[in-house]
Amino acid sequence: MARGRGKLTPQDKEDMKVFSTNLNAILSDRNCKQVELSRATGIPASTLTGYVKGTSLPIPGNVQKIADYFGVLKSTLDPRFVSEDSAIEVTPTPFPIASPIQTIYDELKPPRQAKVLNYAKRQLDEQKNEEETKINEVSENIIRLDDYRQTTYRRVTGVVSAGSGSMQDDDLDMEVSFYEDEIPDDYDAIAYVVGNSMEPKIKNGDYLFIKNTPQVDYNTIGIFQVDGANYVKKLRQGYLESLNPDYEDIHLDENNDIRTIGKVVSVYREK
């Protein structure tokens, strides 16, 4: 399962490969695009890309969302849930009454079935293209309020982890466009978030406006360096809290090298 810190085990890496293979297979079988799955489940597109490429191990909540979307058990996608799903009692679903199209299709011989299937696929593609064209035509006629908002570029200089930790030398140096009315008046630095451990408050890909300070109050979300790795967490007494229950908290003791970098004063999320 997802870990708040530490490296992936060999089993985790194997699970990532299996999940990636299964996810790619069901996406292809259902003719579903990543962007459609992202919109339907609320899982960030960048996170899904990691699952598809096999570079990221999905958290249980996201496995459930994807399984629900496709109407399958979690174990169909992720081998970590085989024992869990095997304990679920499945009630047989009454076989639906065949439609006239299905009845005719079943009576055809395989060569003619293939012709019907190819024709149906072409019709479906045409229907999707027509719907997409209509949506684009409507979108072109809509005046977006964001088009009238002032933007400005700000330099993003750091990476903070909402996951397994970003090393201090994982620095960025890039300029990003922000809406002026969403930039706080008082901040010292901007950092880019990698990971999901602070959802729903802070998500992967968000930008954090940070006020540098060597100390923050309890129950405050801040940037902390623990043993050389930078994290965004909520400060509690004796530990750093992950808001996402699928991630572990970071418990602190005298053996840790701990430093407070600053306080998060604002979270910016690209629309």
Percent helix, strand and coil across the chain, each to the nearest 5 = 40, 20, 40
In a domain, 49, yes or no: yes
* 52, 71, 86 - which closes a domain: 86
Q: What is the predicted pLDDT for the residue at 212? A: 94
Phi then psi for residue 139, to 5 deg, are -60, -35
- Domain housing 211: 151-268
Verify that 70 and 167 share a domain, yes or no: no
In a domain, 140, yes or no: no
Q: What is the predicted pLDDT for the residue at 1? A: 45
Residue 196's H or E segment, with its range, is: none
In a domain, 113, yes or no: no
Tally of domains in the chain = 2
Q: What is the predicted pLDDT for the residue at 86? A: 57
Write out the chain's pLDDT in tens, 271 residues. Answer: 444 445 678 888 888 888 999 999 899 888 898 888 989 899 998 899 889 998 888 999 999 999 999 988 988 898 888 776 555 554 555 545 557 777 787 787 777 777 777 788 888 888 888 888 777 666 666 556 666 788 899 999 888 887 665 544 455 678 899 999 999 999 999 999 988 889 999 999 899 999 999 999 999 999 999 888 889 999 999 899 999 898 889 998 888 899 999 999 999 998 7
In a domain, 112, yes or no: no
Verify that 164 and 69 share a domain, yes or no: no
Q: Is residue 205 within 8 Å of 44, Cβ to Cβ? A: yes
* 43, 68, 86 - which closes a domain: 86
Q: What is the predicted pLDDT for the residue at 146? A: 63
Write b or e for each residue in 31-49: b if 16 or more Cβ atoms lie within 10 A of its Cβ, otherwise e. Answer: eeeeeebbeebebbeebbe
Q: Dump pLDDT digits (tens) for 113-139.
A: 777 777 888 888 888 888 887 776 666
Q: What is the mean pLDDT of the chain?
A: 82
Verify that 173 and 250 share a domain, yes or no: yes
Q: What CATH number is given to the structural domain containing 25? A: 1.10.260.40
What are 179's strand-pairing partners?
151
Verify that 252 and 175 share a domain, yes or no: yes
Q: What is the predicted pLDDT for the residue at 19? A: 92
Query: Under 8 Å CB-to-CB from 109, ≥6 apart: which residues?
Result: none
Q: What is the predicted pLDDT for the residue at 113? A: 77
For residue 197, the 8-state DSSP code is T
Verify that 72 and 155 share a domain, yes or no: no
Alpha-helix runs per DSSP H in the chain: 10-29, 34-41, 45-53, 60-70, 74-77, 82-86, 100-107, 110-141
In a domain, 105, yes or no: no
